[in-house]
Amino acid sequence: MATYSYEAVNQAGQAIKGVLAAANRQEAIGYLLSHHLTPMVIEEVGGSRPAFWVRPFERFTAIDRIVMMRNLGATVQAGVNLTESLDILVADATKQTARAILLDAKTNVQNGLPLSTTFQRYHRYFPPIYVGMLRAAEASGQLAQTLDELAQYSEKIHLINHRIKSALSYPVLLLAGTLGVVVLLLTFVLPRITKAFYQANVELPAMTKVLLVISTAVTKYPLLDVLGLAVIVWLVIQFRRPGRRFLIRLISILPVARELMKKLALVRFSRSLGSMLRSGVSITEAVQLAGQAVGNETYQRVLDQAAERVANGVPLSQTLKEHPKLFPRFFSSLVAAGEKSGTTEEVLRSFSEFYDAEIDTTIKDLTTFLEPALLLFMGAVVGIVALSILLPIYQFIGSFT
C-alpha cells in the first residue's frame, strides 16, 4: 500500500488537495473518480518528480512550445486519439526535454489523468495560461481547437518579443562596442603610457589618475575582478525582481519607451484574454491568468483586483475605466461594447491585431531615438578616456617648449 498526494476538482469546479492510500496509481485514480472528483495531479509521496533538466545545456524554447502545440493539435484534429498522437510526437522529438515531457504526458493520459496535468507539472516551460485553457478544453471537448489556439497565441507573442529583441540588438551592439573600446584603452594603452609619464616626472591630471586607479584594479588584481563579477551576478539573482521593476521605471522615463510598454501590455492582455475566452475558460479565471501573462506587475495587480470584482458581478470594463492611465478609454469602451453584445472575444482579437501595427511603429520610433543617443553616449565615454590619455601627452610635449 502506497501513499499518494493529489489535487482534484469537484463537480462545483473547486480545487481540492489531499492524501490517500492505495495499492497503485490506478486505484488512487479510481477512488477519486468514484467520489466525483476529477484528478489533476497525483504523486506518490516520496516518488520521483518530472525530469526538468534532461540535458544541462538544452533549452526548451518558445519555438519548441509552438511546434509541440501545433503538431499535437493537428494530429488530434485528424481524428487520432490522444495517446497515439503523443506517440507520434515522441517519435519525432529531436530534443530530450520535449521527449521527456511527451512521454510523461502519455503515461499520465494512459493512467486516466487529463493532459493539463502534465503541463501543470512542467510549469517551468508552460505558463499558467496553458493549464487554464487545456482544463477548459478537456471539460468542453474542444481539445484540438484549443491546442491550435494555444499555438497561434504563442506564435503571436513570440513574434512580438522577436521584433523587440531585433530592434534592440543594434543598440546593445553599440554598448558592447563601447565597453570593448574602454576596456582596451584601460588595460593596454593607459598603463603603458602612464609608465612613461612617471619616468619623465610628468604630473598627471586628476582625470587620468582616476582612470589609472581603475586600470590598475582591473589589470593587477584578477582575483578582485572575479570577486566583483561574482558579487554582481549574486546581486542580479537576489534582486532580479526589484531590479526589473527599477529598470522598467527607468525606461518609463522616456515617453516613447513608456508608450511601447503600455501597448505591449495591452496586446498581451487582450490576446491572452481573448484566447482563453474562446477556449471556454471562465471570465474570472481568464482575467486572472491574462494578468499573469502581461508580464507587468502594475497591470497584474489591477487585473487581480478586476478578477475579484468580476467574480462579484462587476463588469470587467468598469474596472478598466477606473484606470485610464493603464487602459485607454478606447480600449475599455470596446470591452464594454463587447460585453453588451456578447462579442468580447472578437473585440479583443480585433484590438490586438490593430495594436500589432502600432507596436511596430512605436518600436521604430524608439530605435530612431536610441541610436543617436547611444552614439552620443559612446562618443562621450570614449572621448573622456581618450582625453585622459592625450592631456598628459600635451603636458609632456609642452615641457620641452
CATH label of the domain that carries residue 243? 1.20.81.30
pLDDT tens-digit map of 227-254: 877 887 776 666 566 655 666 666 667 7
Specify which of 20-34, 271-285, 362-376 reaches the highest per-range mean pLDDT: 271-285
* Residue among 140, 116, 138 nearest 129 (CA): 116
Q: Tell whether 135 is covered by a domain.
A: no
Instruction: Quote the pLDDT of residue 57.
Output: 59
Q: Are residues 77 and 202 in the same domain?
A: no
Instruction: Quote the pLDDT of residue 40.
Output: 77
Q: Are residues 181 and 238 in the same domain?
A: yes
- The secondary structure of 91-157, three-state, reads HHCCCHHHHHHHHHHHHHHHCCCCHHHHHHHCCCCCCHHHHHHHHHHHHHCCHHHHHHHHHHHHHHH
Residue-level length of the chain: 401
Q: Are residues 172 and 288 in the same domain?
A: yes
Q: Tell whether 341 is covered by a domain.
A: yes
Q: Quick check: 48 pLDDT over 70?
A: no
Q: Are residues 159 and 197 in the same domain?
A: yes
User: C-alpha cell of 110?
Assistant: 494512459
pTM of the model: 0.68
Total number of domains constituting the chain: 3
Q: Tell whether 134 is covered by a domain.
A: no
Q: Are residues 321 and 241 in the same domain?
A: yes
Q: Are residues 120 and 172 in the same domain?
A: no
Q: Are residues 16 and 93 in the same domain?
A: no
- The Cα–Cα gap between 121 and 329 comes to 39
Q: Quick check: 336 pLDDT over 90?
A: yes
Q: Are residues 74 and 155 in the same domain?
A: no
Q: Tell whether 215 is covered by a domain.
A: yes
Q: Tell whether 57 is covered by a domain.
A: no
Per-residue pLDDT band for 308 (boundaries 50, 70, 90) equals: very high
Q: Tell whether 131 is covered by a domain.
A: no
Domain range for 6 is 2-44
Instruction: Quote the pLDDT of residue 322.
Output: 92
Q: Are residues 201 and 287 in the same domain?
A: yes
Q: Are residues 122 and 148 in the same domain?
A: no
Q: Tell whether 137 is covered by a domain.
A: no
> Considering the chain, what is the average pLDDT of its residues?
81
Q: Are residues 396 and 269 in the same domain?
A: yes
Which DSSP string do the residues of 355-379 spell out, in sequence order? HHHHHHHHHHHHHHHHHHHHHHHHH
Helix and strand totals (H; E) in the chain:
17, 3
Q: Are residues 209 and 311 in the same domain?
A: yes
Q: Quick check: 52 pLDDT over 50?
A: no
Q: Tell whether 167 is covered by a domain.
A: yes
pLDDT tens-digit map of 340-365: 988 888 898 888 888 877 887 888 87
Mean of pLDDT values over 379-396? 79
Among 126, 154, 178, the domain boundary falls at 126
pLDDT tens-digit map of 74-123: 999 888 889 899 988 988 888 888 888 888 888 888 888 888 888 888 88
Least confident of 125-129, 196-200, 326-330, 345-349: 196-200
Do 256 and 116 form a contact (C-beta atoms < 8 A)? no
Sign of CA dihedral 165, 167, 168, 170: positive
